[in-house]
Amino acid sequence: MKFLRNQLDKVKHSFEKGGKLEKYYYAYEAIDTFLFAPNTTNDVKGAQIRDAVDLKRLMMTVIIAMVPCLLFGIYNVGHQHFMAIGQAGAGFADKLVVGLWQVLPIVVISYGVGLGIEFVFSILRKHPVNEGFLVTGMLIPLVMPPDIPLWQVGVATAFAVIIGKEAFGGTGMNVVNVALTARAFLYFAYPTDISGGVWTYLGDAQAVAGYSGATPLAVAAETVKGESVVTALNTFGAGWNEGVFTLQNLFIGFRPGSIGETSTLMCLIGALILIITGTGSWKIIVSVFGGAYAMALLLNAIGGSPFVELPAHYHLVIGGLAFGAVFMATDPVTAAQTETGKWVYGLLIGMLTILIRVFNPAYPEGIMLAILFMNVFAPVIDYIVVSANKKRRIQRATV
Amino acid sequence: MSAAVAEVVEKKSEPLFSKKNRKLISNPLDIDNPITVQVLGICSALAVTTQMKPALVMSVALMVVTASSNVIISIMRNTIPSRIRIIVQLAVVATWVIMVDQLLKAYVYDVWKQLSVFVGLIITNCIVMGRLEAFAMGNKPGPSLLDGIGNGLGYGLILLIVGFFRELLGGGSIFGFKVFEAMGVHYTGNGLMLLPAGACVIVGIVIWVQRSINGHRETH
């Protein structure tokens, strides 16, 4: 640490006013404040905040909360790979290596492209580099399928950062979640690479006999009338990946899917970190799950098709609902700001997710579209909550 | 780009093209653009720009309708009772639109099919009605003609820019010519560009670029 500090101090003078690299001061400043808490102190006058938790520290907390998902995801990519090619006996290290080999390049590309654009914009607009991309850069790989072409990751990241964020004024000004913008971009631009059977990394190897790349959502959507989705899920994978879609395994997460989304358990650990540190809103997390569960119960009561009759608790562990609820819906910039608004916002996300899942076969995973949709409506929810509050207080006033 | 287009028009100029009248042509290309500044005619701009050919035909059709309706209304402007002026304007626009529609059907049938209802919908295009109300009702036929052509060009310019990027990025071609294939590069078409959302994004970027060049800001 001392060494880093010394090195930074040594080059500092050339970035300061009058130095030869003055133009790039904000690039220097970004690296400095990323590594060390800034040593600037407030003026003696005015409000004093005695807290080292600035935006960068806050973002790091979110990244730490994502680490369980990431590590599990890396291992799971390898695990699914060996299951799919019929080598169930492969060791822990082998799986980890395959997972790292697939996942790390995606992470590197995402950070490289995104931070590059952030640096360019901060130098052009002469403002400090925004820390917002620290989290986005990690979220983007976690919502990608394991064998997504790397150039697509780069293009999607560039699109999301420029159109989703910088066009609106940079970090904290974006209307919709940046990481989901990247995913939605790929979803509509190159649909064949992000839907269907892409959720398991096969590589050059031959898939085992009877292999199917279907996800639980696809299995549920394809179940024919008169059969039960639960039976179809329980018997799926017979012969090559026994019990991959049982309720217990769906919860733990050894199943194909986007890199970080598969494990509900890891998402809940992340949620715990976010809630304990006060980084994420527990109201949003709880209400997304609650909304989804309520909607699923309602559909169960109505009935009609096997997917509609899927037991409500299954909906909470399949697809990316847990990941979206914990890491995407809680994004403080795009979520509703008022406390009542957060409940409404979360509930609607959960309900919409299930509706899209069950009734729209073109979009098998509803959580992405549901969150993007509610991002747009979040200001309206806040507006209604604030107006209602004003109305109530005016009635109470006795002037 | 706008200067170059304005010059071409200028060459054919006669006394009619005073400095003030020249502005009628050049302003809609930049600081008074019907799409990027006045935000009119967005619907058709999103709908017909998946390829450049229909975009071009649509631009020409709109320019013809705007210019000729402007002239007719300008000639009639002192005799139209103001209470029924909208319906008179509509009748004139509708006449021109039907003529253009029939012409397109006769000579470029495939493009006409692609444009589908959007030729007919020129009748309700805000640019046409807007120019009639804002300009032709209060100006002589000469300037009205220029104003119609200018706004048609401004509309067409944006349509062609948007069409260029959508066709290039979405299908890898320009005017149906496979650019990337000709260069020997494999190109995966970007599906988003073929959706109206993609057009919306490109129109947004055009506005962004235009405003950072000319420094235009909304004034409240």
Q: Per residue in A172-187, pLDDT tens?
A: 888 999 999 999 999 8
Write the pLDDT tens digit of every residue in A46-74: 776 666 667 777 888 899 999 999 999 99
Domain boundaries, chain A: 2-28, 55-193, 221-255+263-384
- Among A153, A185, A373, the residue to mutate for chain B (most B Cβ within 10 A): A185
The answer on pLDDT for A32 being more than 60 is yes
Q: Supply the DSSP string of A244-310, one letter for each residue.
A: TTSHHHHHHT-SSSSTTTS-HHHHHHHHHHHHHTT-S-HHHHHHHHHHHHHHHHHHHHH--STTTTS
Rounded-to-integer distance, Cα A67 and Cα A346, Å: 24
Domain boundaries, chain B: 17-22+34-212
Closest residue, chain B, to A155 (C-alpha): B190
Higher pLDDT, A68 or A193: A68
The CA distance from B53 to the nearest CA of chain A, in Å, is 22
Which residues on chain B are in Cβ contact (under 8 Å) with A175? none
Band (pLDDT 50/70/90 cuts) for residue B220 is low
Which residues on chain B are in Cβ contact (under 8 Å) with A191? 191
The CA distance from A120 to the nearest CA of chain B, in Å, is 16
User: Residue A290 is encoded by which pair of tokens?
Assistant: 């609650």
The CA distance from A186 to the nearest CA of chain B, in Å, is 8
Query: Which residue in A217, A222, A117 sits closest to A171, CA to CA?
Result: A117
The CA distance from B186 to the nearest CA of chain A, in Å, is 13
Closest residue, chain A, to B208 (C-alpha): A167
Contact A189 B191 (CB under 8 A): yes
User: Residue B30 is encoded by which pair of tokens?
Assistant: 């930049």
Write the pLDDT tens digit of every residue in B94-147: 999 999 999 999 998 888 888 878 888 888 888 888 888 888 888 888 889 999
Predicted ipTM > 0.95: no
Query: Which residue in A277, A295, A275, A276 sits closest to A285, CA to CA?
Result: A275
Contacting A residues, span 165-194, partner chain B, CB-CB under 8 Å: 167, 185, 188-191
Q: Does A3 touch chain B (CB under 8 A)?
A: no
Residue B138 carries which DSSP code?
Answer: G
